[in-house]
Amino acid sequence: MDQEWWRGAVVYQIYPRSFQDDDGDGVGDLKGITRRLDHVATLGADAIWVSPIFTSPMADMGYDVSNYTDIDPLFGDLADFDALIARAHDLGLKVILDQVLSHSSAKHPFFVESRTSRKNDKADWYVWADPKSDGTAPTNWLSHFGGPAWTFEPRRRQYYMHNFLSEQPDFNLHCPEVQDFLLETMRFWLERGVDGFRLDTVNYYFHDAQLRDNPARPTGANALGNETYEMQEHLYDKTQPENIAFLQRLRALTDQYEARAMVGEVGESQRSMQVMAEYTQGADRLQMAYSFDLLGPTFTAAHFRTTQMAFFEGASDGWPMWSFSNHDVERHVTRWAKHGVDTDTLAKLSIALLASFEGTIGIYQGEELGLEQTEMEYHELTDPPGLRFWPEVKGRDGCRTPMVWDAQAPYGGFTDGVPWLPVKAPQWARAVSGQAEGSVLAHYRAVLAYRRASAPLLRGRTEFVDVGEPVLALHRIDGDRAVTCVFNLSVERLVLTVTGDVSVGLSMAAEVNDRRMTLGGNGFAYIEGATSGLPEISMT
């Protein structure tokens, strides 16, 4: 068994509510996922990341867990989960579960007990603090979903901390019993055969025990569009030094099982590459981490180059995971639309670009179809930030609308009932059934197949070539073989000078003739060759 199967892997994220509904209630379920796994396998993925399926009141769509060792009835039961694992493994797919360790649901039995008094078995399992002398919150810490990160509980006459909704109280991981409990919940799923975990908000596990206020910083914007959160330097409410020892405990647990891997979500806009590097360096922490740096609006060669360089400069032995879309951000073909010739061409360029990056890559369900962000109306929303801050913040529902399988079936073949979020015409038109030769889906399959067969793209080191905007160029080198990747990030036709060994392996809108490479808008080329004859590339 390949203990490091995760290096260079393609991880396909499934948002269970929106992948496939099998029981007709309008919400996706485990049986639906199992039925559609062939699509993921034929795409060329190596693993699936399944967003939370645990018992939950669904205040934040499963990221508020009330039972860590059972399946929410909305999705099925443990037998359905076991069947999913078995089918995935039959298809050669690993299964990574989304693990929410920083906080639970306010309806978790432990919090229900903890909030009743200051003297009970779970009294210190969550983050509690006395009010300031004027009755206000203990610190100035902010919630991602707006307002203070504190809610008052009259029975204890204290505030409890929540980095997100008030229905998501933060665990107190300074308490060893809390750590032990969380590790045992992970052991439960490891024993059932899961291959790893995606660790939600991995740098939020610990808070400053001295409860110091965060200093102010200039206003910025985070991935959810909530500006107030980025008005602080988050020195004390997250990314604390105690986190490292807990990550080591997680690694020690997963290392007791063969070929397991963890990827951490680093929610840190101000020093994300530093934290990613710190969390993945060496052999006793996380195998992988990702951040929001490539999930934002910036689409330049300099950004793609400097982000990757910053990671590997910080952790030469660390391993990143890169992705352009997920369930928390606007879909990238919409986010980067002004840089694309059209949606299809931009989608095709994007996967070629992503597949060239050193690390593991993540694909979010539907991006292989070129799905755009769904335009939502207020009455259609379910996401708390959108409901609270509409219309300035539209929330995350637009990237979570159902997968579309059959252009001729009601609701795109997602359900026989009424879907929990609408299936609208622009998405319906991109159903799997209509993705023929030359489509975005066909292109994704071709690029991922090429990458799987290429040792340099899977695990080779990276050397960037500074050609200048709007061209991103890089060499991926493995031993005596290399692949040189050249991308036109603009809609304009470009002519480049290319010298050396030039044998095009895979391309789009690219021509090479007599030391000249012509790249149409959003065109790209993978050039194969020997390390001894790396092409030199420059603007004409």
For the annotated catalytic residues, the residue numbers are 200, 268
Q: What CA–CA distance (Å, rounded) separates 121 from 119?
A: 7
Strand partners, 482: 477, 529
Element (H, E) at 258: none
Strands (E), 154-292: 158-161, 196-199, 261-265, 288-290
Q: How far apart are the first and last CA of the chain?
A: 48
Residues 6+ apart with CB under 8 A from 267: 201, 203, 204, 238, 291, 292
Please, is 513 exposed, middle or buried when counting C-beta atoms within 10 Å of its C-beta (0-12, 13-18, 19+)?
Answer: exposed
Task: Annotate 465-529 with DSSP letters as a single string.
Answer: E---TTEEEEEEEETTEEEEEEEE-SSS-EEEEEES--EEEEEEEEEEETTEEEEEEEEEEEEEE
CA dist 440 → 48, 92, 244, 347 (Å): 20, 24, 41, 7
Q: What CA–CA distance (Å, rounded) separates 197 from 94?
A: 11
Which residue in the block uniquely carries the two structure tokens 């007791």? 256
φ, ψ dihedrals at 513, nearest 5°:
-145, 125
Q: What CA–CA distance (Å, rounded) separates 519 from 534?
A: 19
Residues 6+ apart with CB under 8 A from 431: 369, 404, 405, 406, 407, 412, 413
Among the listed residues 160, 171, 161, 169, the one whose alpha carbon sits nearest the alpha carbon of residue 101: 171
List helix spans (H) across 356-489. Answer: 384-389, 425-428, 440-452, 455-459
| Amino acid sitting at position 71 | I
Cis bond upstream, residue 470 (ω within 30): yes
